[in-house]
A and B are shown apart, each in its own frame.
Chain A
């Protein structure tokens, strides 16, 4: 069974704080892909990152970084020096081999206050 858990329903921070969004996944497949998407208040879904199960290197893109730990089945997302424009719902998703569907977590609503 594939499952994605985002335990944090809502997070509120003040601008310039760092914030980490947690994502824990379950799958029996050895080949899979993990994703993060951002859904701003306007409602569209914006692709942020894809990571395959054989690549545990952490990735940094500007103020965004991702920490993939297979040992704990986690794929956490950190925003450094948060900004008001980062306010959105963030979804973690899993696509396992031999499955056509992508399983989404319930999302974490991030509010960054000025």
Chain B
């Protein structure tokens, strides 16, 4: 499967725990985007990364959320001290260039107990 791979598909955490969401872009893609989708809503941009660089994190909450895309390995979206409001589907997308279509992973559904 050469598509965008996200894991886990489902993640359950208790309030106060940490959540780590992983995204491996399509082969040959070096641009990664993270989006959040609340129930019955569209996707909201969070962060845009290229290898080892955060290009734009204007959509990401200032506290508790961080993202990285290391030279080796997947991109990671990290949420510390999760709260109920963090429950959502988190989608990762990758592209080979700014003007190319973004191809999405299947998402990670995060549930906070």
| Chain A residues close to B by CB (< 8 Å) | 33, 35, 37, 43-47, 50, 52, 91, 93, 95, 100-107
Contact = CB atoms under 8 A, between A and B. Distances in A.
Given A100-B56, A101-B45, A47 B102 contact: yes
A47 B42 contact: no
B93 to A, nearest CB: 8
A93 to B, nearest CB: 8
Most buried by A among B41, B55, B104: B104
Most buried by A among B42, B44, B58: B42
Q: Is the interface of A mostly helix, strand, loop or mixed?
A: strand
Q: Is the interface of B mostly helix, strand, loop or mixed?
A: strand
B89 A43 contact: yes
A6 to B, nearest CB: 8
B103 A105 contact: no
Contacts of B48: 100-101
Contacts of B35: 104
A44 B107 contact: yes
Nearest to A91: B42
A50 B33 CA distance: 17
Contact of B107 (A33, A43, A100, A107): A43
Interface residues of B, number: 25
B91 interface: yes
Nearest to B100: A50
Can you list the 4 inter-chain pairs with the closest CB atoms, starting with the nearest? Answer: A101-B45, A45-B104, A104-B42, A100-B56
A63 to B, nearest CB: 20
Contacts of A101: 33, 45, 48, 56, 58-59
A52 B109 CA distance: 32
